[in-house]
Every structure is written in C-alpha cells, then in structure tokens.
A = this chain, B = another copy of it.
C-alpha cells in the first residue's frame, strides 16, 4: 500500500468512525437523559446491532490490511498520524481474536447490566444486579484470555487498556504511598478541635436556582455553551461527539448543593478538555485518544485544584450568594470555602471530600482486581465492599444503594477504570506545580481569569494528550515522571492549614 493509499484509507475510516461514534454518543446521551423508561430495552437492542456493525467493519480484511500497512510505514508520517496508526494497530491486536458473536454477547450483557443496575440501585438490592455483574466479569475474563499479548495477571491486561504503562505492581505501590500519608492525616483531622460549619450545604436550594449556578460556573470556568449542552441524568457523565458538541450532565438534589456544584465543575473540566483538543485531532480521528487518567486529571484539576481553592471561591462567592440570597443570608465566604472542603470519612465516592477520595478508589481497585483475577466472586460482593469501607474509612454501609451500587462503572463493564481517578489526582497536582512556575495561579483564580488557566492547559496539556501515553505526557509537561509527592504534599499543606493542625 502506498503512502497516498494509506492516507486515503485513513480518511475513509476516520469519517466512518467519526460518524458512527457521533451517533452512538448521541444515542447514549439520549438514553441516559431523556429516553422513556419503557423504550430502554429496545434502544439497547438497536445500539447493539449498530455496535456489531461497527465491530465488523473494524474486523474487515480491508481495514486490517490498512492498519498493518499504516503501522509498518508509520515513521513516514506526521506525529499525529504516526500516533493514530500505532493506536489503531494496538486496538487491532487486542481484538484480533475477538469474534463478532462474542463482542455482541458482551454488548448485550453490558446493556442489560446497566438496566439491572438502575433497578437494583432504585431498590437498593445488590442481588438484582449480581447475576448481570457475574456475566460481565466472566465475559471480560474470556475476552482477556483471547488476547495475544499476555500480562502478569488478567487485570494488568485491562490496566493496559485504560492506563498503558501501569500494572498492579506499580499501582499497589502507588496506593500504599497514598495510604501511608492520607490515613494519618485523616486521623489528625479527626482529632482536631477545629469546628467547620457545613449545615448550610443541606439547606434546600431549588432546582431552578441550582440550574442558574450550574450555567454560571460552566461559563465562568470557560466551557463554551454554543458547542455544548448541560442536561440531567442519574449518574453524571460527559460525552463528546465532537469538539463542537460536548455534552455535560449533572444531577440535582435540592438539599445537597455541593453535589451539583462540584459535579458540574468536574464534568465541565472534561468538557473544557474535549472542546480544546486540536481541530486536527478530530479531523483525523485521533481526538479522545488520551487515557482516562489523563481526562480525569483535568476534571479533578477543575473540581479540586480550581473549584475548592479559596481564591476561586472568592471569585464566585458574589454570584453564588446572590443566587442563593435568601438561603445563604447567614453564610460567609470563609464558611462556604471551609464547608466545601470539610474532610471526613463518608459513604459516597462522588460526594466525598478531596482528602478521602482516594480511599474510596482503593476499595474499588482492590475489589475489581481480585474479581477479574478470579480471587473473589460476585456472590456476596456487597459484604466484601462493606467490610473494606469499614476497614479503610471506618464507616459502616447500611444499604447497597449507598454501598456497592453507588457507581455506574461496573454496570458498563468498565473494569480497570477506577484507578484512573486516583492517578488523575496525582497527575493534576504535579501539573499544577509546573503551571505555577509560568503563571500566578492563585492570583488568576482570585480575579476570575480562568481563561488564562485554560489557555495554559490548552497549550501545554490538551494539545499533546492524545499524542502520548500518560507517563510520557506527564514528563513532557512537567519534566519528570509521576512523582506522588506533589499530590500528597499538596493535601498535607492544604488540610493542615484548614484544620489548623
């Protein structure tokens, strides 16, 4: 195949993939936001047919011939194309022995598991979800066993999907570092005399008011509403059919103001990232190729390093306190800042504080690792969950809804994704450390100049994320490999000051 032929094929398949992914993402968004309940099953079935057709296209002789030829000649192309061809080849190798039938079976199982998870969560009954989860785990193990490239463990194979360059050994070490410094810090906080007020976060704030807050924060942080949408769903997520069509979702609870506020800032971070990848990446079909930890790095950057910073709170307080004038008449800016930073062990990951967050991830990491490696079964997994929450966080889980059923991920078959959140936190702190050498981060926050922060991220981080594996990316931005100390020092400094330790 000539270089010209490779480029032509590449254009053809980029267009095909863009089209089908666009449609699939819109469908998924619709499904999770507005589609009527009784239509969900038929919708799942429809999407399965489509996904199977996509799968067949990427298993076709024509496509494989192109992928192989492009990979062989990759050095002759620009860095963007070279990266695309490498990723395509890696994907082809992974799915080389996966039959359309098995892929279809997996797709159906994942769709059903999502529906069952929703029902189980509503009824707070893990046993409704368990058979579907078990099926998904079995199919995942089967799919891993068919892969040519072998890893030390089955779970390592999944980590290679989500976070190439990482494995259980690295992550075990990573989490033990976090544990070694976060757990003692949490203990100190629990013994501190400092009183932090947070009652007002349970004040009732109407949905229309929270909608105003959401729209204000998205715009303030730099999310472009003419290329985006904000909608509501069960479990907030962001999806981006293109950089001109980025969909952010949230969930409103009248008596949990911070839940929506930080959900919107977090998802908005994903959204800002998606809106600001280079055009070229979207054109050639490379956009969105970064790992989940790279994406979570940016959403957690906005959620915590920006959103929970006292200078940011200063910049938005005038607006927030004016929208919630009646409700927050007895709340000061300082109280608000401290309230949204209160650290205490709790049950729900998405609503947990910045400090204990990674302990929630540890529970999931350990469970899914053992599950995929066949060391534990799905049976009574809720008890396993509850046990670890009691051990690591010292809290007791009284129902499945607030326990094992709280997260959507496993119902999608996303095993191996959870560590991304913790890694993302660590990446974010390391990147912030570099950013602070270039620009006056705190001063920019204080003056609401979020666009300068976005510009820095766009130039240094967004522009090359899809081009590099996470470790290379981090090195390119910060000049060094992952160094967990930035993250842990940041946490210690922040919380020691906050709790006057």
Contact = CB atoms under 8 A, between A and B. Distances in A.
Contact of A36 (B23, B27, B229): B229
Contacts of A22: 42-43, 46
Given A19-B45, A27-B27, A46-B22, A227 B38 contact: yes
A113 to B, nearest CB: 20
A19 B36 contact: no
Contact of A20 (B37, B49, B229): B49
Interface stretch (A237-245, A316-324, A383-391, A483-491): A237-245
B49 A16 contact: yes
Interface string A21-36: 0110011011000111
A34 B43 CA distance: 19
A46 B49 CA distance: 17
Interface residues of A, number: 38
Contact of A34 (B36, B42, B48, B231): B231
A314 interface: no
A329 interface: no
Contacts of A34: 229, 231
22 contacts: A16-B49, A18-B42, A18-B45, A18-B46, A19-B46, A19-B48, A19-B49, A19-B50, A20-B49, A20-B50, A22-B42, A22-B46, A23-B47, A23-B50, A26-B35, A27-B27, A36-B227, A37-B226, A38-B245, A39-B241, A42-B244, A43-B241
A30 B36 contact: no
A231 B34 CA distance: 9
Contacts of A254: none
Contact of A245 (B19, B35, B50, B244): B35
A241 B41 CA distance: 12
Contact of A26 (B27, B41, B45): B27
Nearest to A53: B53
Interface string A299-335: 0000000000000000000000000000000000000
Nearest to A41: B244
B39 A244 contact: yes
A89 to B, nearest CB: 24
Closest 9 CB pairs of A and B: A39-B245, A19-B49, A22-B46, A19-B46, A38-B244, A38-B227, A39-B244, A42-B242, A26-B30
Interface in A324-381: none
A46 to B, nearest CB: 4
Contacts of A245: 35-36, 38-39, 42-43
Contacts of A244: 36, 38-39, 41-42
A74 interface: no
A245 B30 CA distance: 12
Contacts of A49: 15-16, 19-20
Nearest to A227: B38
A100 interface: no
Given A30-B26, A34-B231, A242 B19 contact: no
A450 to B, nearest CB: 20
Interface string A194-234: 00000000000000000000000000000001111101000
Nearest to A224: B38
Interface in A115-141: none
B241 A46 contact: yes
Contacts of A26: 26-27, 30, 35, 43
Contacts of A19: 45-50
A109 to B, nearest CB: 18
A34 B32 CA distance: 14
A63 to B, nearest CB: 15
A30 B34 CA distance: 10
B35 A23 contact: no
A14 to B, nearest CB: 11
